[in-house]
Amino acid sequence: MIYHVDKVNWKQTQGQLRQIRERVFVCELHLPKDVEFDQHDTTADHVLIKDENQQAVGTGRLCSDGLISRIAIVKAHRNREAYQSLIGYLADLAQQKGLKEVFVQCILDEVPTFLKSGFSKQGSVFMEAGIPRQRLKCPASMINSEPFTMLH
């Protein structure tokens, strides 16, 4: 399947972005809604991924500090092509913005997979929504989409 990713404006598309993120993070993963939507939403660069029928199937964001987060793709489209398209777009966006590094905050079970893909640990383990997480970093030019799945 062919996917198309575009940078979108939060104010104009927040209805679509919220719907996808609520479906994935709040309904499927049972994360609290007040944790899902935060102060970064109004300042981050958001992207929307659509399928070949122009249906919105996923989203993600890049914060000004290089944090890639809120990667949410609806279940029927969770495949390598969708993640490669979305992560590739965010990595390109980070480089266009002049960011040298990108960051993720993943659950501890996923840390080894990210480490094998070129990420390194940054800082200590922390808690978010009752889930232990680790902040990881990677050169923006070296980001690999392989380890990515739903990433809060």
Distance CA 49, CA 39 (A): 22
CA distance 67 to 145: 15
Confidence (pLDDT) at 68 = 95
Q: Please write the tens of the pLDDT for every residue from 18-51.
A: 999 999 999 998 888 888 899 999 999 999 999 9
Give the tens place of pLDDT for each residue, 83-117: 999 999 999 999 999 999 999 999 899 999 989 88
Contact 149, 109 (CB under 8 A): no
Domain ranges of the chain: 4-139
Asked if residue 81 lies in contact with residue 3, where contact means CB atoms within 8 angstroms, the answer is yes
Give 65's DSSP letter.
Answer: T
Q: In whole angstroms, what separates CA 7 from the centre of its chain? A: 13
User: What's the whole-model pTM score?
Assistant: 0.90
Q: How far is the C-alpha of 134 from the C-alpha of 23, rounded, in Å?
A: 24
Residue 79 DSSP label: S
Q: Using 50, 70 and 90 to split pLDDT, how confident is the model at 146? A: confident
pLDDT level of residue 131 (50, 70, 90 thresholds): confident
pLDDT band for 150, please (50, 70, 90 cuts).
Answer: low
Q: Give the model confidence (pLDDT) of 116-129 as tens digits.
A: 888 999 999 999 88
With H, G, I as helix, E, B as strand and everything else as coil, classify residue 83: helix
Q: What token pair was written down for 106? A: 């993943």
Nearest C-alpha neighbor of 61 from the set 109, 31, 97: 97
User: What is the token pair recorded at 116?
Assistant: 């094998």
What is the homologous superfamily of the domain 4-139 according to CATH? Gcn5-related N-acetyltransferase (GNAT) (3.40.630.30)
